[in-house]
Amino acid sequence: MAVKTYLKVAAIVGAVAVLPLAACGSDDQKGSIGDTVARAAGGDLSANGGARRLDGDQSGALRETIADNNARNIILLIGDGMGDSEITVARNYEKGAGGAFDGLDAFPLTGQYTTYALKKDSKPNYVTDSAASATGWSTGTKTYNGALGIDIKDDEHATILELAKKQGFATGDITTSEIQDATPASEFSHITERDCYGPEEMATDCQDETLEKGGPGSVTEQLLAARPDITMGGGAETFAQTATGGDFKGKTLEVQAKERGFQIVRTADELADVSTADQDAPVLGLFADGNMPVRWAGPPAVRQGYLQDAATCTDNPDRGTEVPKLADMTAKSIELLSGNQAGKDKGFFLQVEGASIDKRDHAADPCGQIGETVDFDEAVQKALEFARKDGNTLVIATADHGHSSQIVEEYTEEDLQGLAEDSGQPIERVRDVMYPGLTRKLTTADDTDMIVSYGTSADVDVEDEGHTGTQVRVAAFGPRAGNVVGLTDQTDLFFTMTDALGIDRGGE
């Protein structure tokens, strides 16, 4: 049984930081870099102390988690659009108010980082997109929305994956989105428009960056040239496009991939059968034409959805057994990268993205986003499981930006009618004022109702909720994990990770 202890104040990386209270995990999980934690409430939530998540003093346990030695491996996990609100919505639904995720809530050290992008005139753009934010942690450089791997002057900057590969590390980049999408693409592409997936998009949106004009080519062509040991996700349809320049002109991108020696796998069974992934035979997993199907389905938020009966989430029938789960992709990637020669000799860098937390948030689909957060947590558990055993792996879990879902108070029709009478306003007006966005009521693990609201697009005809400019959580376990504590910026993460691996940034 876990021994629960307090965590109060710690001096880390030259600053005093108030850290989250947490509880130590069991002794059999203890590794050379301390332990992960257990944070579920200990008893009856209505009793005195029943909702507390710890007791005792955790100072000693915290000291054991702080190591300033280099890491051999880094596993960076990105929950796209996974702000604090999205985590809380998912936790309440799946675990209950006093519950805790076994992955996301198990990190001993947490902080917050800022996510703003820049405009071309170098002034802040307070709400980032996924491309600018991912460029921040992959290169250490702020840029403008839509851009990948370049700064506001359109100059290229090397990514951590490119530097790690060049300096002998095994590398991997996996996602549940199209592999050409902004977050995975930030590790291997340098382009002014994130949507230039293939030669067809290049012809209209990125004409000056095509291979025939001496540019780097489309996102997919840059992927094939960058050649990570492992790349997995969706995005198969782009590989049917034909190259219009370069050494493979006139050939489809799929033919090019095969001629370059990539192992292409399309199902969970085919992935399970893969035994090697290295520069001689890199793995290219293409598990969907577009984005991979999400885990859960349910009714979307709508106008006055709070008035409808509470819903529960169900398995998405489109997912099927042939599509690998993110946790399985993560475990397989760790197995292959740690087992190939580069991984044995030097170590590995792996980026893992749970992409559709964001995509279902855009669609005001609470069940979709919750299921993807649960899915992502299982991938985090796989990373932490490896790190606890290995003792030399830095695991970081964070998000690229915040999003639009919020938990809001429930008002009864009697409450609203009373407000209408007091204000002299029609009940319809009062409803719009109290619930200005799209809403959906869900039944949570506590067997009670929770209203999820989406307020960045209140028009049902505009089916795209927007990002928010909030800072987001960053959590870490392993060597150099203390560097995420307190307030940092997304660009700090690039330097934390390259320092942890001992990467020479002068090799850009």
pLDDT at 4 over 70: no
CA atoms within 13 A on the CB side of 472: 28
- As a whole number, the mean pLDDT across the chain is 91
Residue 105 pLDDT? 97
Residue 73 CB-density burial (10 A; 0-12 exposed, 13-18 middle, 19+ buried): buried
Interatomic CA distance for residues 465 and 180, integer angstroms: 22
The DSSP symbol for 48 reads T
Summarize the confidence of residues 94-109 as an average pLDDT. Answer: 97
As annotated, the active-site residues are 130
| Confidence category of residue 463, pLDDT binned at 50, 70, 90 | low
Alpha helices in 150-196 (DSSP H): 160-166, 182-185
The size of the chain, in residues, is: 508
Whose CA is closest to 13, among 492, 503, 505? 492
Q: What share of the chain has pLDDT > 90, as a percent?
A: 81
Sign of the C-alpha dihedral, residues 313, 333, 283, 493?
Answer: positive
Summarize the confidence of residues 167-183 as an average pLDDT. Answer: 98
pLDDT at 8 over 70: no
Sign of the C-alpha dihedral, residues 309, 310, 313, 314?
Answer: negative
pLDDT for 27-77, tens place per residue? Answer: 333 334 678 988 899 889 999 989 988 878 888 888 888 888 999 999 999
pLDDT for 270-294, tens place per residue? Answer: 999 999 999 999 999 999 999 999 9
pLDDT for 439-453, tens place per residue? Answer: 999 999 999 999 999
Residue 22 pLDDT? 36
CATH number of 73-116+162-302+309-404+467-507: 3.40.720.10
Provide the β-strand partners of residue 191.
148
Whether pTM exceeds 0.85 = yes
pLDDT at 12 over 50: no
Summarize the confidence of residues 72-91 as an average pLDDT. Answer: 98
Provide the β-strand partners of residue 109.
476
| Confidence category of residue 10, pLDDT binned at 50, 70, 90 | very low
Q: What is the residue extent of each domain of the chain?
A: 1-66, 73-116+162-302+309-404+467-507
Interatomic CA distance for residues 187 and 435, integer angstroms: 40
Interatomic CA distance for residues 61 and 29, integer angstroms: 13
Asked whether the beta carbons of 501 and 70 are under 8 A apart, the reply is yes
Helices 130-139 and 490-501: crossing angle in degrees, nearest 10, is 30
Interatomic CA distance for residues 49 and 43, integer angstroms: 8
pLDDT at 241 over 60: yes
Summarize the confidence of residues 420-429 as an average pLDDT. Answer: 92
The token duo for 441 is: 């009521």
Tokens 């040991």 locate to 229
Query: Judging by DSSP bridges, how do beta strands 283-286 and 230-234 pair with one another?
Result: parallel
pLDDT for 370-413, tens place per residue? Answer: 999 999 999 999 999 999 999 999 999 999 999 999 999 988 88
Helices 326-339 and 366-390: crossing angle in degrees, nearest 10, is 30
